[in-house]
Chain A
Amino acid sequence: MDFNGALLAVTSVLELKDASITFGGLRAVSPLSFAIPQGQLAAIIGPNGAGKTTVFNLLTGVYAPTSGEIWLDGQRVASAGKTIRPNALVKRGIARTFQNIRLFGDLTVADNVRAAFASHQSYGFWHALLQTGKMASVESAIEDETQRLLQVFGLTNRAENLARNLPYGDQRRLEIARACATNPKVLLLDEPTSGMNPSETADVTRTIRLVREQLGIAVLLIEHHMSLVMEICERVIVLDGGVKIADDVPSAVQNNPQVIAAYLGSDEPELNAVIGT
């Protein structure tokens, strides 16, 4: 089944059109195209150094593409050598987490979430300075949303802890909760289960499902745990050396000879995971 073909009819929230990026002489991502329809749960997999994180950095405005375009929610947000700043892209509906967790360590769990309302629930300098009624009402709206998110992500009883004191699994969940607080249309998760034991992985799997079902957000995740990908994703994009080598439903990707070869050639530990499941 060719997803790109099927998508022409459906509106896609996120679309790469022949986007590529070169660092010095290294072509980290070769012209790459794919589109994510509303509410889809897709995965990007590939061996180490395949360019997965770089694709996320392109999508979130960290780098401008060397060539090609990126479209978000029907608007072009990046083209060759140009991109919108990350914080402005967040406002347009893209949120992310990082491969190495990045939280506001000295802020409380609740404040980590509250801070992420900056792009869509805020008030100006003078309201803050004079503590106006508008500030009070916006703050109370933020507070309601924050409590709801903490509830959804099971962090309510951690609300007043400093983020850096949380256990690893909670930190991952907080990072996803914070990303959801930006009110995204599409959420990018960079290896949300890396370094986790099976029970923590199961926990994050539940969380991702929740995000999709309760909040209705499209999710694109980079993942090495194949069981998770097979279990919850509708679609798998495989990158190798910056090139897309497969883009299909999980069961088809699993048996794709090119994919198996890519993993075989790279003596990666996840090789067994791909072939074994």
Chain B
Amino acid sequence: MRPSSLPFPLVFAWRVFIFFVVVRALMGVQGTTLFAGKHPIINPYYQNILINAGIAIILAVSLNLINGITGQFSLGHAGFMAVGAYISAYFSKEIGGVLFAQLIALISVHISKQLGTLLLTFQQPILFTIAILVGALAAGAAGFLVGLPSLRLRGDYLAIVTLGFNQIIVSLIRNWKAVGEASGYIGIPKFTTFAWVFALAIACIWSIRNLASSALGREMRAVRDDEIAAEASGINTTRVKVVAFVYSAMWAGVAGALQAHYIQYANPNDFTFLRSVEVVVSVVLGGLGSITGSALSAAGLTVLQEVLRDVPGAFYTSVALVGLAAYWNFVRVKSEQSGSKSMLRAFVVPFFALIAICLCYWSPQVNAVLERVFPRLDLPDLRAALESSKGALRYVIYSVILIVVMLLRPQGLLGRREWSLAALQRGRRVGKGVEGNLA
């Protein structure tokens, strides 16, 4: 969408209208619903995945503003998320309800009773909106603090500082009595629904796309490409970097608020730098600088994570990954016009990887055979080991993905391009996007 020639309020109203129509359609019309009711089209299992994907999308798309578009390496996104999660949860649980009750009482007495009851029916959305805002503002303030070193530090140094910030936040929470210290914060009200996540994910993508396609986005990319030249071209590099950090952190805070009010629980361990790394992986995988790339890969990795929960799923995924790696390798070797010998070599690594995966999967059977042949052997059950360490397996898969991406497609799946419906209509699968395509 480009700045239209129509007057702004009209365009804006139209967009809001479309947006609500879509949300309404997704929530279902009177009873026959997509999500709720006796026979929802999308059952709770898939809803759960969609909500997690939505939160991951908000995290990845917002981090992309710092790491991809502005070119600063932040490794502390989970820290901002933690600030948003805890502050918003603290508000909803300890402050919001009481404050709201008092407000209603005041309104009922002094203004009108009807208004009081009306407001009461909307208690939950109003409280949640405020909680999200409070969480986002707190995270934004944290983003401002962390953005300051970015004015002096670059690359690895900034990555270390942001990572350190992430761990400081986690340590602070571990020692904060009011939110349960290291054992976690329980009893957070369940406010998050699919509609909330969907609406906020869209708002996140929409607003960051708007920023990226504006003069501010151009200035961010200029800072990314050459900070000294940007400064010499009249770009206020301080402002640009701080804006990127604050706005991005605010959305991380929103994601944190959504997550806390979804699982109704927050634990400092969920916000360590491992979570930050997950977000960085999505951004790198999708292509640094590509908003749609971040969104797609964040959604993809969430689904992958879900699939990895049961071992057969993990097995098939691994096979698929090995196959993909083999194919990419094959294409690459072929494009280098080498002989058949190196074609063979291209398949050696994936082949052994496949055998290793199969061995793990059929571990009990293999063990049975081996123990019959060598009776005194005490073999570990690899499958059980795999099953009991699903979390760890996830990181193994992530690192495999990262290595494969770095080797074969360092620019990420989409590079810096965007994928859009408009481009699809024009018959091109991948649009040129915000990169140099502003009317």
* A residues neighboring B (CB under 8 Å): 60, 85-87, 90-91, 95-96, 98, 102-108, 110-112, 114-120, 122-123, 125, 127-133, 135-136, 138-139, 142-143, 160, 162, 178-179, 181-182
With contacts defined as CB atoms under 8 Å apart, how many contacts are there between chain A and chain B in the complex?
A: 134
Contacting A at CB under 8 A, from B391-439, are 416, 435-436, 438-439
In the bound complex, how far is the Cα of B215 from the Cα of A95, in angstroms? 19
Nearest chain A CB to B244 CB, angstrom units = 11
Query: Which one of A115, A119, A132 has the highest number of Cβ atoms from chain B below 10 Å of its Cβ?
Result: A115
Chain B residues positioned under 8 Å from A128 (CB to CB): 210-211, 214-217
Chain B residues positioned under 8 Å from A182 (CB to CB): 233-234
Contacts A102-B232, A107-B222, A131-B210 aside, 4 further interface pairs with beta carbons under 8 A come to A104-B225, A111-B438, A128-B215, A135-B214
Let me know if B436 and A110 touch, CB within 8 A.
yes
Q: Assuming A119-B234, A120-B234, is B215 touching A106 (CB within 8 A)? A: no
Contacting A at CB under 8 A, from B172-220, are 207, 210-211, 214-219
Let me know if A87 and B236 touch, CB within 8 A.
yes
Query: CB-nearest residue of chain B relative to A137?
Result: B3
Let me know if B215 and A125 touch, CB within 8 A.
no
Query: CB-nearest residue of chain B relative to A116?
Result: B233
Interface residue stretch chosen among B5-13, B45-53, B279-287, B325-333: B5-13
Q: Assuming A106-B225, A115-B219, is B234 touching A91 (CB within 8 A)? A: yes
Contacting A at CB under 8 A, from B351-405, are none
Let me know if B235 and A129 touch, CB within 8 A.
no
- Within 8 Å by CB of A105, from B226, B228, B232, lies B226
What interface size band does chain B fall in?
35 or more
Let me know if A130 and B12 touch, CB within 8 A.
yes
Can you list 19 residue pairs at the A/B interface with Cβ under 8 Å? Answer: A60-B232, A90-B234, A91-B234, A95-B233, A98-B228, A106-B221, A111-B218, A112-B222, A115-B230, A115-B235, A116-B234, A118-B236, A128-B216, A131-B1, A131-B3, A131-B214, A132-B3, A178-B233, A181-B233
Q: Which 4 A-B pairs have the closest CB atoms?
A: A119-B234, A136-B3, A128-B214, A90-B234
B231 interface contact, C-beta 8 A? yes
B237 interface contact, C-beta 8 A? yes
Nearest chain B CB to A226 CB, angstrom units = 27
Let me know if A107 and B221 touch, CB within 8 A.
yes
B340 interface contact, C-beta 8 A? no
Chain A residues positioned under 8 Å from B228 (CB to CB): 98, 102
B337 interface contact, C-beta 8 A? no
Nearest chain A CB to B173 CB, angstrom units = 30
Let me know if B235 and A87 touch, CB within 8 A.
yes
Let me know if B231 and A86 touch, CB within 8 A.
yes
- Within 8 Å by CB of A107, from B7, B12, B232, B436, lies B436
Chain B residues positioned under 8 Å from A135 (CB to CB): 3, 214-215
Chain A residues positioned under 8 Å from B216 (CB to CB): 125, 128
In the bound complex, how far is the Cα of B12 from the Cα of A130, in angstroms? 8
Let me know if B207 and A96 touch, CB within 8 A.
no
Chain A residues positioned under 8 Å from B7 (CB to CB): 133
- Within 8 Å by CB of B436, from A111, A120, A130, A143, lies A111
In the bound complex, how far is the Cα of B1 from the Cα of A131, in angstroms? 9
Let me know if A129 and B211 touch, CB within 8 A.
yes
Chain B residues positioned under 8 Å from A107 (CB to CB): 218, 221-222, 225, 435-436
- Within 8 Å by CB of A129, from B207, B230, B231, lies B207
B229 interface contact, C-beta 8 A? yes
In the bound complex, how far is the Cα of B207 from the Cα of A105, in angstroms? 26
Chain A residues positioned under 8 Å from B232 (CB to CB): 60, 86-87, 90, 95-96, 98, 102, 179
Chain A residues positioned under 8 Å from B231 (CB to CB): 85-87
In the bound complex, how far is the Cα of B211 from the Cα of A104, in angstroms? 19
Binary CB contact string for chain B from 242 to 286 against chain A (1 if under 8 A, 0 otherwise): 010000000000000000000000000000000000000000000
- Within 8 Å by CB of A123, from B215, B224, B226, B435, lies B215
Query: CB-nearest residue of chain A relative to B211?
Result: A128
Q: Assuming A102-B228, A118-B219, A119-B235, is B416 touching A139 (CB within 8 A)? A: no
Let me know if A133 and B3 touch, CB within 8 A.
yes
Nearest chain B CB to A24 CB, angstrom units = 21
B4 interface contact, C-beta 8 A? yes
Binary CB contact string for chain B from 1 to 31 against chain A (1 if under 8 A, 0 otherwise): 1011101100110000000000000000000
Query: CB-nearest residue of chain A relative to B233?
Result: A116
In the bound complex, how far is the Cα of B12 from the Cα of A127, in angstroms? 12
Chain B residues positioned under 8 Å from A108 (CB to CB): 435-436
Chain A residues positioned under 8 Å from B214 (CB to CB): 123, 127-129, 131, 135
Let me know if A125 and B243 touch, CB within 8 A.
yes
Query: CB-nearest residue of chain B relative to A97?
Result: B232
Chain A residues positioned under 8 Å from B438 (CB to CB): 111, 114, 139
Chain B residues positioned under 8 Å from A102 (CB to CB): 226, 228-229, 232
Q: Assuming A91-B234, A104-B221, is B215 touching A118 (CB within 8 A)? A: yes
- Within 8 Å by CB of A115, from B8, B11, B233, lies B233
Nearest chain A CB to B143 CB, angstrom units = 14
In the bound complex, how far is the Cα of B219 from the Cα of A135, in angstroms? 15
In the bound complex, how far is the Cα of B29 from the Cα of A12, in angstroms? 73
Let me know if B436 and A160 touch, CB within 8 A.
yes
Let me know if A139 and B235 touch, CB within 8 A.
no
Q: Assuming A87-B236, A115-B233, is B215 touching A139 (CB within 8 A)? A: yes
In the bound complex, how far is the Cα of B228 from the Cα of A98, in angstroms? 10
Nearest chain A CB to B231 CB, angstrom units = 5
Query: CB-nearest residue of chain A relative to B12?
Result: A130
In the bound complex, how far is the Cα of B59 from the Cα of A257, in angstroms? 68
Chain A residues positioned under 8 Å from B218 (CB to CB): 107, 111, 114-115
In the bound complex, how far is the Cα of B438 from the Cα of A125, in angstroms? 17
Let me know if B229 and A130 touch, CB within 8 A.
no
Chain A residues positioned under 8 Å from B3 (CB to CB): 131-133, 135-136, 139
Chain B residues positioned under 8 Å from A116 (CB to CB): 233-235
In the bound complex, how far is the Cα of B1 from the Cα of A87, in angstroms? 31
Chain A residues positioned under 8 Å from B219 (CB to CB): 115, 118
Q: Assuming A118-B215, A131-B3, is B416 touching A106 (CB within 8 A)? A: yes
Chain A residues positioned under 8 Å from B207 (CB to CB): 129
